[in-house]
Amino acid sequence: MTVAAAGGNARPTMDVAVTVNGRRHVLRIEPCDLLVDTLRDQLGLTGTKRSCDVQVCGACTVLVGGAPVSACTYLTYEARDKEVLTIEGLAQGDALHPMQQAFIDHAALQCGFCTPGMILAATALVREHPRPSVAAIKHYMRGNICRCTGYKKILEAIQAAAEVIARDGER
């Protein structure tokens, strides 16, 4: 990390190295920049959605160091020297991740706004808890809200993906 000199009324900025979807970036940010804005505005990764802005809805969920975080309340600075995974980094070329495929196969989306955050949180879930129970899924996913209320299909998709991943791995 380097900190640029702030002259006059200029707002202080700093350079931080962040790895996003396997690619290292050196980003010029302000100390207060939020990860959701850096991802969307600097890197064009608009799959990460912003909605409530107060860590309630989960639309902005990304994985940092493998753990789900709300990018709307997570400073970009906090992600320095860490690995960030967004929905754009989950597929391998044209091959969808099993969680993405399960959401399609089970029609677990309607408007799709919550879907990137749901899929990333669910991916972290099955990495932590292979073949989770229904109760475990509901507990882990409680921070992700679907305004279309498609929870039954989402639950089925996560269960199906967990089976596939437990059997075949993530690829």
**Cα–Cα separations (whole angstroms), residue 4 to 16, 31, 81:** 11, 11, 18
| Burial environment of residue 133 by CB neighbours within 10 A (0 to 12, 13 to 18, 19 or more) | exposed
Which segment (24-32, 76-84, 89-97, 109-117) binds ligand FES by CB under 6 A?
109-117
Of residues 109 and 162, the one with the C-beta less far from ligand FES: 109
| Beta carbons within 8 Å of 149's beta carbon, 6+ residues apart | none
**Contact status, residue 32 vs residue 73, Cβ threshold 8 Å:** no
Which segment (91-99, 123-131, 143-151, 160-168) binds ligand FES by CB under 6 A?
143-151
Choose, by CB under 6 A, the member of 17, 52, 75, 96 that binds ligand FES.
52
Of residues 88 and 170, the one with the C-beta less far from ligand FES: 88
Choose, by CB under 6 A, the member of 13, 46, 50, 163 that binds ligand FES.
50
Choose, by CB under 6 A, the member of 139, 147, 152, 167 that binds ligand FES.
147
Q: Which residue is nearest to ligand FES (CB)?
A: 72
Q: What does the alpha-carbon distance between residue 62 and residue 58 come to, in Å, rounded to a whole number?
A: 9
Backbone angles phi, psi at 70, to 5 degrees: -90, 110
Give residues in contact with ligand FES (CB under 6 A).
Answer: 50-53, 55-60, 70, 72, 109-115, 146-148, 150
